[in-house]
Amino acid sequence: MSLEKPMLDDAERAVLGRYFTNLDQPVFALRNLPEVVKGALFSRYSRTEKSLRQVLLDEFIQAPETGFAELVGAAPAAEDNLLATRRAEEFYDRVLVGYGDDSVAELAGAHLAVERVSTLAAKALQDSRIGISPLEKSTRYVRFDRPDAAGRWPYHRGPELAHPVYERALDALFGTYSDLLEPLTERVRQRHPLEPGESERAWKTATRAKALDLLRGLLPAATLTNLGLYGNGRAFEYLVTKMAAHELPECRHLADDMHEQLTQVIPSFVRRALDDRYGRPAAERMTRTAMAVRELAPAAAVSPDGPCVHLVDYDWNAERKVVAAALFPHSNLPLADLGAADVDRVLAALLSERGNRRHKAPRALEHAEYTFEVVANFACYRDLQRHRMLTQDRQVLGSELGYDLPPDLAGYGFDGPFEAALEHAGAAHRMLERARGPVLAQYAVPLAYRVRWYAKVSLREIYHLCELRTTPQGHPDYRFIAQEMFKRVREVHPRLADYARFVDLGPGDELERRNSERRLDEKARLA
């Protein structure tokens, strides 16, 4: 059964038309809505299968208890808004031309919804680090096996992928995911029955999340997802140009769609994104450069390796640098004269008061940097790629590095069909790679297959990433990678690592979401 209504009726269109730049396309911008509603709507992307337009209708407009009518009543009428936008545009045009300062394009932004795009395209959109805040449908809370209105599994199809093997392979993956989800959820519930004092909601959500976590590796990189992007004009301009230069045709089409919708809400800011003077030539240069570098890149056959984290580079003098940077703002000496201080005492003064992981590590820790090379499954990469305060890049996703079988799956007796589906998909990928090339063949690779990427990370971000990503409710795959990253840092710089006290090196919870869901119930009780 498809959750998307095939079409909105006339009355619904009349209501919704005011709030979106279009009602029929997968890419659209939000307008005439208070900021708080736009934020709330985007936050729903992580938990719902519905389009954002349907969410607005079902959960705001038709739910009087949300106070939507009063909130929007306070907003100007659509026509006033359009007029105001046009006037502001004229003003911004004058400022942009007159000041010649690109940073004024950071002073206004837009909420852009991008629905029914492949996971690969979502990764490309989320590759922007400054000025864009994305939120995407979660593989942990949302099932991905709802067919579309035509009864087809939700994965990207395009003329570039027309090949008899492609649809057969992807249909088989979705078929296995769908067949296993209910029986696996049932087994999880048998092993972890409802406990006294636990709400049925918390138990059902935690057990379903466990089953979805175990099966997500079957989803191919072509799987369609929904995401919201909130960003400033300057960041959107660069994102559109980068997407226009992307090697995937899907991303290049998205560049045009995004540009068209953004032009309706922040035209001055995205004017150059695809113009003949700046945007197009910049995109063409990016494409040419990528091709020229690719021709020089060596390649050889590799054999599969398990998930691993190698520390390939670090700063031997990091302690001194961090200490000097910590003392610098409090001293009148140059950096070069501050490294001789007592490392233990300065680090204790700087960090020993941290009471929880939200007590951020200070800026001085950015003076120590670590370069990691990671091999892990693509689902894990998909999660960790979301960190922005670091430099990272990946290689093409393929099948040669092998795949991960979730260890718990064997305990539930479902490893056989899971592994068979991955093996078939691997063979299909190799066939497509020969027929369509490695870049397009990525679409057919299930998320359980491994990819290699590098991450150059400062110690400050190590604190943040490793403390956040090792919490016991996290997915075991990224917990493992974050734990390994932290161990590598601790091996070379024990004193610097010592104050990352909220990194959890324990085994994690077997039913990862159980405690979090119970805490949510507790919060709701106290609210």
Ligand X SMILES: Cc1cc2nc3c(=O)[nH]c(=O)nc-3n(C[C@H](O)[C@H](O)[C@H](O)COP(=O)(O)OP(=O)(O)OC[C@H]3O[C@@H](n4cnc5c(N)ncnc54)[C@H](O)[C@@H]3O)c2cc1C
Using rule CB under 6 A, residue 517 touches ligand X: no
Smallest separation, CB 190 to ligand X (Å): 26
> Smallest gap, in angstroms, from Cβ of residue 364 to ligand X?
16
46 binds ligand X (CB under 6 A): yes
User: What is the spatial distance between Cα 152 and Cα 178, in angstroms, rounded to a whole number?
Assistant: 13
Cα 349–Cα 354–Cα 357 angle in degrees, nearest 5: 145
Question: What is the per-residue burial (b if ≥16 Cβ within 10 Å, else e) of 221-243?
Answer: bbbbbbbbbbbbbbbbbbbbbbb
H or E element that contains 210: helix 200-215
Closest C-alpha among 475, 478, 479, 472 to residue 508: 472
133 scored as a contact of ligand X (CB under 6 A): yes
Smallest distance from ligand X to CB 79, Å? 33
Which of 464, 488, 490, 493 is in the footprint of ligand X by CB under 6 A? 464
| Residue 501 binds ligand X, judged by CB under 6 A | no
For residue 454, what is the enclosing H or E element?
strand 450-458
Stretch that binds ligand X, among 51-59, 84-92, 132-140, 397-405 (CB under 6 A): 132-140
Of the listed pieces 180-188, 201-209, 232-240, 460-468, which binds ligand X according to CB under 6 A?
A: 460-468
| Size, binding site for ligand X by CB under 6 A | 14
CB 129 within 8 A of CB 388: yes
Shorter beta-carbon distance to ligand X: residue 135 or 169: 135
26 vs 472, beta carbon nearer ligand X = 472
Q: How far apart are the C-alpha atoms of 191 and 88, rounded to whole Å?
A: 60
- For residues 81-91, b (16+ Cβ closer than 10 Å) or e, as one string? eeeebeeebee
Given 253, 387, 424, 495, the residue binding ligand X (CB under 6 A): 387
In the complex with ligand X, the residue whose CB is nearer, 46 or 371, is: 46
DSSP code string of 229-270: EEEEHHHHHHHHHHHHT-SSHHHHHHHHHHHHHHHHH-HHHH
DSSP state letters, 307-343: SEEEEEEE-TTHHHHHHHHHHGGG-SS-GGGSTTS-H
Asked if 163 touches ligand X (CB under 6 A), the answer is: no
* Bridge pairing between strands 132-136 and 224-232: antiparallel
The alpha carbon of 28 is separated from its chain's Cα centroid by a whole number of angstroms, namely 19
**Which of 157-165, 253-261, 264-272, 386-394 is the region at the interface with ligand X (rule: CB under 6 A)?**
386-394
Rounded Cα–Cα distance for residues 126 and 120 (Å): 10
Q: Does 386 bind ligand X (CB under 6 A)?
A: yes
For residues 402 to 441, the per-residue mask of contacts with ligand X, x marking binding by CB under 6 A and - elsewhere, is ----------------------------------------
DSSP lists the bridge partners of residue 391 as 456
- Is residue 111 at the binding interface for ligand X, with CB under 6 A as the rule? no
- Please report how close the Cβ of residue 302 comes to ligand X at its closest, in angstroms: 29
Q: Does 388 contact ligand X by CB under 6 A?
A: yes
d(CA 236, CA 274): 11
Residue 526 to residue 521: CA distance in whole angstroms? 9
Stretch that binds ligand X, among 35-43, 127-135, 171-179, 488-496 (CB under 6 A): 127-135
The two three-digit tokens of residue 218, written as one number: 């079957």
* Least Å from the CB of residue 137 to ligand X: 7
- Please answer whether residues 69 and 29 qualify as being in contact, where contact means their C-beta atoms are separated by less than 8 angstroms: no
* Binder of ligand X out of 389, 410, 427, 524 (CB under 6 A): 389
Candidates 134-142, 267-275, 343-351, 500-508; binding stretch for ligand X (CB under 6 A) = 134-142
Q: How far is the CB of 230 from ligand X (least distance, A)?
A: 9
To ligand X, the closest distance from the beta carbon of 464 in angstroms equals 5
Cα→Cα distances 399→43, 95, 240, 381, 441, Å: 34, 51, 30, 15, 10
Least distance to ligand X from the beta carbon of 130, Å? Answer: 7
What minimum distance in Å lies between the beta carbon of 508 and ligand X? 12
- How near is the Cβ of 51 to ligand X at its closest, in Å? 17
Cβ proximity to ligand X, 428 vs 466, nearer residue: 466
**Binding segment for ligand X among 130-138, 158-166, 295-303, 417-425 (CB under 6 A)?**
130-138
Least CB distance to ligand X at residue 478 (A): 8
The site for ligand X (CB under 6 A) is made up of 46, 133-136, 138, 386-389, 461, 464, 468, 474
